Structures are given as structure tokens and as C-alpha cells.
Amino acid sequence: MMFSAALLSLLALPFAAAQTSHAVTVGAGGKLVYDPTNITAAAGDSIVFTFAGTHTATESTFSNPCSPMSNGFAGTSSSSPFTIQVNDTNPIWVYCAVPGHCSAGMVFSVNAPTTGTNTYAAFKQIAMGGSPPSGSGSSTSSGASPSASSSSGSSSTGPYGSSGAGKVAVSAGASLAVGALVALVL
């Protein structure tokens, strides 16, 4: 009896895991909002973004709310409805990449902690230009943002010690440039 019950629940697991579909309306009512703004989802759930206007659902990171995460998802109005699968219960951070929308607070999260520093409210605050709760100012962190420093082609950092520069490395581009410099020196 107990054995068969356990077996049953085991068999049911893969099916149960995929069952919850969370609907999110992007730009509901013509406003710069996701509705709802933050949801709790289980592993195996799906999230369906339906776009009510020209917006995106672009994955980002907590510390850089308005920059795309490398290898993150990006749904747009033209791909509506756009569905993502939730693979685990780690937070997922999302913003609208239409210029001006993220800084107006158009952000969304899945499984954001409800306490501590990395809440949805804190995420939104950073998106709107506030300071991260425990942030150290100048770090560009996580290599997630491909935006800045793409125009570093003709650098004039040559005369300054390249070993020192290597330790500063703020972006993939800069690291590559330093690497090339080192290669030249060798």
C-alpha cells in the first residue's frame, strides 16, 4: 500500500512538475509595468509573457537591472506570447529593453527573495537609478553587460604598466586588449 502510493507519486512527479503556467501581461493597460510584477514559481513551471504594446521581456541580473544578461532570454512584442521555462527556484530578473522603460521601473522578477537585500523592490530601485543595497560603486561585475567600452579600440594605455592594467580588467573587451598587449610584449 505505502509502496504503491510512493510509486504513484514518483510516476506523477514529471507530469506535475510542468503543470503551472504563469501568465504575465507586459505593458498592461498601456502602462510601463509587468502584471504581476513579481511571481513565485516552482521548477518546471512556465511563464507566458503576453505583450500589450511594444515592450520586451529581457533577462538581466540583480546588480545590472537594465542590461541584458549574457546568454539570457529576450522576448519581444513580435514573439508574443513568449514562454520561458523555470528550471529552478533561483531568482530570475527581467526588464524591458525599450529605451526609458527600465529606468521608469519596468522590471519583473521570478522568485525574488522577500527579505534581505535582493528583493524585487531593491531591484526596481536600482533600475530607477538608486544605489544597490550593499554595492561597491565602480564594479561592472559579472561580465554580463556587453554595452560599455566597446569603443576601446585605439587605447593609449601602452606606457602604463600592463601587469597593473591586467588586474583592473573591467570587461571582456578590456581583458582581450590587455591580452593582446601582453602577447605583443612577449
Task: Enumerate binding residues for Cu ion (CB under 5 A).
Answer: 55, 96, 98, 101, 106
Q: Are 107 and 98 in contact (CB under 8 A)?
A: no
Q: Which three cell numbers stand for residue 166?
A: 591586467
Phi first, then psi: give them for residue 59, nearest 5 degrees. -75, 140
Using the 8-state DSSP alphabet, how is residue 24 labeled? E
In the complex with Cu ion, which residue's Cβ is closer, 77 or 165? Answer: 77
CB of 155 to Cu ion, least distance (A): 35
* Complex with Cu ion: residue 22 or 101, whichever CB lies closer: 101
Task: Closer to Cu ion by CB, 101 or 124: give it.
Answer: 101
What is the sign of the dihedral through the CA atoms of 133, 135, 137 and 143?
A: negative
Q: Least distance to Cu ion from the beta carbon of 2, Å? A: 52
Indicate the DSSP class of residue 23.
E
Question: What stretches of 72-119 show up as alpha helix (H) in DSSP?
Answer: none
Q: How far is the CB of 26 from Cu ion (least distance, A)?
A: 7
Cβ atoms of 90 and 81 within 8 Å: the answer is: no
CB of 101 to Cu ion, least distance (A): 3
8-state DSSP, 163:
H
Q: Cβ 49 to Cu ion, closest distance in Å?
A: 11
User: Which CB, 26 or 165, lies closer to Cu ion?
Assistant: 26
State how far the alpha carbon of 58 is from the alpha carbons of 7, 37, 70, 167, in Å.
40, 14, 11, 31
Q: Which is nearer to Cu ion, 47 or 98 (CB)?
A: 98
